Structure 1
């Protein structure tokens, strides 16, 4: 009877131990394995160097100076006032473009 009681107690303790392991979620199998391994010894993972980034210096800024557009060889005449710009500052009906005379 003592042996049966001892085995029952041992069985209960083992079941409690197994249930607590499964309650924490299995972490995988841990064990010691023996066998032959013919591969290379310990080596670190390969180190990949970042490629060298070459950025050329920016080209210098080039400014192109443009000449002033010619205003044309016109005089502006106002008929109602009877005068030319800039002697007459305002013209009520609008300016009339007139080719300049060489005599004036």
Structure 2
């Protein structure tokens, strides 16, 4: 809806500047020419900049939730049946025991 409204306003501004430029009519004949000045071109440039800005706006930046830092816990897995910790043995039939190390 916003883009349509901006485009419609731009159309009305361009239409009004062209009507104002042609208000004095064509100074016809073989030696005459259009003497509308620079106003319609300036208005067109301004309206063009507004329309281009409305269509080519940069994407919004979204920030994620803050990352919380959890220090590594000193926990190891101990197998009481083998008497070994996890890296030394891969299986523990009786179940692993968590041990807090310092």
The two structures have a TM-score, normalised by structure 2, of 0.36
The two structures have a TM-score, normalised by structure 1, of 0.35
Return the structure number with greater helix share. Answer: 2
Between Structure 1 and Structure 2, whose CA radius of gyration is higher?
A: 1
